[in-house]
Structure 1
Amino acid sequence: MSRQPLRLGMVGGGEGAFIGAIHRMAAALDGDWRLVAGAFSTDTGRNERTGAQLALDPARVYPTIDAMLAGEQALPADERIDAVAIVTPNHLHAPMAIAALDAGFHVFCEKPMAMNVAEAEAIARSASASGRHFGLAFTYSGYPLVEEARARIARGDLGDIRLVQVEYLQGWLSQPIDNDGNKQAEWRTDPARAGLGGCLGDIGTHAFHLAEHVSGLRVASVSADLSIHVPGRRLDDDVNALLRFDGEARGTLKASQVAAGEENGLKLRIYGSLGGLEWAQMEPNTLTLRWLDRPAEVVRAGGPGLQDGTTRLLRTPSGHPEGYVEAFGNLYRAFAAAIRGEDGRRFPGVDDGLRTMRFVESVVANAASDQKWTPINRG
């Protein structure tokens, strides 16, 4: 008997929205998902055009999430959506995720999880009470060589981890385009829609998640500085933080959206007592390993020497580059496996969301105080 794709409904991601299109491509990549419904925009014309462009049944292109949840619940179980993808600005994540979970649907949500810890905890309670899965789009954890780095550290290749350095540099907000009508910029710098952090919430959370995910360590406390370099901007556009991990490891986190000329410069370096590794998102098919007692190694996606968990994330032979969409697709594939009750790779979820929101609150609190170190609340 052939396996049917799971059915997906999307909120947000109307025509012209970058991340909605990425979610749709990633979900479709392995045949695990089929988009069948959506509430793509509060603008009626934009919403209807998006549905038409995606060849959806007009009856399942809904004006609001509430209408979508009610309409889908009224359908037979073998026709209604299985999950809701939330690809809206941050202020809508919590109310929409809670409504979808409470209505009995699984949720895959853009990051950050919510506006603050209280909202994130409310999502966690709804996920627990509903018994539904909640996935979070920390995309970079889906790259094959990120998994390779994580697995090598977990088996002790680098020895005792001492240093974790992560940076995420962009330059697209170097000018006040948020005041000039750029829709992607203006909501990200609006506290009412973005939350406590600007750059911190948008890309600092990615850097933080990647550092903990690959190192296998948890940050215990932070000492941070938040800056606004563009006059009149209301949320940070530059982040610098010192990190103290559990045990003896120490680290640094740098995130900026005003590093003029930078594109999407996410880089991770981790050093232990025996060696170190380096991975960069803009060259994602290469992992560099450095050793105290032998020459450096360059590990390539699809090449020899990869762990089984890494090869399962690859789709093409060596020399055929895979990137952002494929990494995203790995998260959607793992999410589908969990819903089907299959053994599969872990995907970012409630715990990751809570950790990152607690990190955001700790950084904001530390930067606003004279306190040298602020612990991250473990809940």
Structure 2
Amino acid sequence: MSKKIRLGILGGGSDSLIGILHRIASAMHDKYQIVGGVFNVNHADSLAFAKSIDLPSHRVYKDLDTLVDKELKLPQSERMQVVSVLTPNFLHFPMAKKLLENGFNVICEKPMTTTIEEAKILQKTLQNTKSVFAVTYTYTGYPMVRQMREMVLSGAIGKIQKVDAQYYQGWINPIIHDAKQRSSIWRLDPDKSGISCCLGDIGTHAFNMIEYVSDLKIESVLSDLNFVYKDNKMDVDATVLLRLNKQAKGVICTSQIATGEENSFIVKIYGDKAGLRWEQENPNYLFLMEEGKALQVLKPGHTYNSELALDGTKLPPGHPEGIFDAMGNIYKGVAKAVSNEPYNPAEFPTILDGTRGMNFIEKAVESHHKGNIWIKIENT
């Protein structure tokens, strides 16, 4: 019997952008074995996909209810231990809740739910279990993001004065300007995506990243959203001013109509001693900026990096690692938790991060609709 963690997957089939990322990440550190799941709402398509990746068909189920029922009838030594939820946003909450209620550990895509109320229900559900719950804010898995966090915590840049996160994409441009397309995709459908498109999809990454690297809490927000067309109910561009604890201030700029941009996620944090900058499209470089000194460039794999950063680095210096590796580090952290091994809490985002992400989305949308006013974020 394999000692690997038995992994099930919901969603992530052949037409899924995110599915291959999770499958490769789970295999990366030899900690998991995919044993089955529900890969598509159409059972025949799910079976065909399972066959294409060489999975046996007997644990490819028609729906989640069947999965839970059948898996719980298996001996504990055989049943799925962790289930990854890779479905559209509106399914995250009911699926995660049912899995937790039946004793499964959960890895959930973001945003964790579609409302803050759902997020709080999940928190309470988790409290009544011994399960592990992770939210895939993937970028926290990059070694140099982890190095950024450790340098801030060590006081290397001094007292934080300003934080700045910019996340620009242009992918929705062809869709938003076509009336038929913008009324048909799930990301612009509030019933499936929740109350936000841009903030819910990429703004929540920026929010989480700022709190992760700064170890501060965003306490209130003032936002201005852009919908482009009156018949479009979902934001596709957003600017959010931030007030954090310890007198720090900042801004989050996110857009899916930034023409020509691919996945430009840039995080900057400025202290009274120095500043740090990281760019997702060049993830192996962390820039240290100090007044009157030459710009320093830190790279992964070197002994000058922190233990947390080095633990997330698989290769020697000079061998680039990327998004698959970042997600792999999150799966690696969850594996440690599930196996009751020692781990750093910064190795994977938790349900608390997911709840704060939903809090941010709702308060930012509320700020816009109330006339661009400051709205406090609950301390969840």
Structure 1 residues 172 and 230: CA distance shift in structure 2, 3 A: farther
Instruction: Report the equivalent of 1:140.
Output: 139
**Which shifted more, 157-166 or 169-178?**
169-178
Instruction: Report the equivalent of 2:357.
Output: 356
Please give the alpha-carbon distance, in whole angstroms, between the structure 2 residues aligned to 1:132 and 1:44. Answer: 28
Provide, for residues 74-125 of structure 1, a one-character-per-residue CA deviation record: whole Å limited to 9, x for no partner: 1111111001100000000000000001011000000001001001111111
Please give the alpha-carbon distance, in whole angstroms, between the structure 2 residues aligned to 1:172 and 1:309. Answer: 33
| Counterpart check, 1:344 vs 2:343 | yes
Q: Which runs of 5 or more residues in structure 2 are unaligned?
A: none
Instruction: Report the equivalent of 1:84.
Output: 83
1:229–1:258: 8 Å Cα contact kept in structure 2? Answer: no
Give the Å deviation of 1:230: 4.9
Give the Å deviation of 1:47: 0.8
Give the Å deviation of 1:293: 4.1
Instruction: Report the equivalent of 1:72.
Output: 71
Provide, for residues 17-61 of structure 1, a one-character-per-residue CA deviation record: whole Å limited to 9, x for no partner: 111111111011101111001111111221111111122221100
Please give the alpha-carbon distance, in whole angstroms, between the structure 1 residues aligned to 2:147 and 2:372. Answer: 37
Give the Å deviation of 1:367: 0.5
Q: What TM-score comes out, normalization by structure 1 length?
A: 0.96
1:179–1:186: 8 Å Cα contact kept in structure 2? Answer: no
SS in 2 for 1:124: helix
1:93–1:114: 8 Å Cα contact kept in structure 2? Answer: yes
2:301–2:315: 8 Å Cα contact kept in structure 1? Answer: yes
Please give the alpha-carbon distance, in whole angstroms, between the structure 1 residues aligned to 2:180 and 2:342. Answer: 48
Query: Which amino acid is 1:366 matched to?
Result: S
Please give the alpha-carbon distance, in whole angstroms, between the structure 2 residues aligned to 1:172 and 1:132. Answer: 36
Please give the alpha-carbon distance, in whole angstroms, between the structure 2 residues aligned to 1:188 and 1:9. Answer: 25
Query: Which amino acid is 1:71 matched to?
Result: K
Please give the alpha-carbon distance, in whole angstroms, between the structure 2 residues aligned to 1:319 and 1:259. Answer: 31
| Counterpart check, 1:366 vs 2:334 | no
Provide, for residues 297-340 of structure 1, a one-character-per-residue CA deviation record: whole Å limited to 9, x for no partner: 11011235211221111011111110000000000000010011
Please give the alpha-carbon distance, in whole angstroms, between the structure 1 residues aligned to 2:250 and 2:153. Answer: 18
Give the Å deviation of 1:179: 5.7
Structure 1 residues 288 and 218: CA distance shift in structure 2, 3 A: same
Query: Which amino acid is 2:93 matched to?
Result: A
Q: What TM-score comes out, normalization by structure 2 length?
A: 0.96
Instruction: Report the equivalent of 2:108.
Output: 109
**Which shifted more, 93-102 or 342-351?**
342-351
Q: Which runs of 5 or more residues in structure 1 are unaligned?
A: none
Query: Which amino acid is 1:120 matched to?
Result: A
Query: Which amino acid is 1:123 matched to?
Result: L
Please give the alpha-carbon distance, in whole angstroms, between the structure 1 residues aligned to 2:105 and 2:43. Answer: 26
Query: Which amino acid is 2:373 matched to?
Result: K
Q: Percent of pairs identical after alignment?
A: 36
Provide, for residues 168-191 of structure 1, a one-character-per-residue CA deviation record: whole Å limited to 9, x for no partner: 0000001226866699x8111110
Matches within 5 A, 1:166-245: 166-176=165-175, 186-230=185-229, 232-245=231-244
Give the Å deviation of 1:370: 2.9
Instruction: Report the equivalent of 1:12.
Output: 11
Structure 1 residues 367 and 181: CA distance shift in structure 2, 3 A: closer
How many positions carry a matched residue from both structures?
377
Please give the alpha-carbon distance, in whole angstroms, between the structure 2 residues aligned to 1:240 and 1:268. Answer: 15
SS in 2 for 1:330: helix
**Which shifted more, 295-304 or 214-223?**
295-304
Query: Which amino acid is 2:364 matched to?
Result: V
2:160–2:272: 8 Å Cα contact kept in structure 1? Answer: yes
Please give the alpha-carbon distance, in whole angstroms, between the structure 1 residues aligned to 2:100 and 2:53. Answer: 25
Please give the alpha-carbon distance, in whole angstroms, between the structure 2 residues aligned to 1:372 and 1:9. Answer: 43
1:91–1:195: 8 Å Cα contact kept in structure 2? Answer: yes
Please give the alpha-carbon distance, in whole angstroms, between the structure 1 residues aligned to 2:342 and 2:26. Answer: 19
Structure 1 residues 371 and 169: CA distance shift in structure 2, 3 A: closer
Query: Which amino acid is 2:375 matched to?
Result: T
2:35–2:80: 8 Å Cα contact kept in structure 1? Answer: yes
Structure 1 residues 154 and 81: CA distance shift in structure 2, 3 A: same
Query: Which amino acid is 2:12 matched to?
Result: G
Please give the alpha-carbon distance, in whole angstroms, between the structure 2 residues aligned to 1:19 and 1:63. Answer: 21
Instruction: Report the equivalent of 2:34.
Output: 35
Please give the alpha-carbon distance, in whole angstroms, between the structure 1 residues aligned to 2:45 and 2:156. Answer: 52
Please give the alpha-carbon distance, in whole angstroms, between the structure 2 residues aligned to 1:29 and 1:327. Answer: 10
2:175–2:182: 8 Å Cα contact kept in structure 1? Answer: no
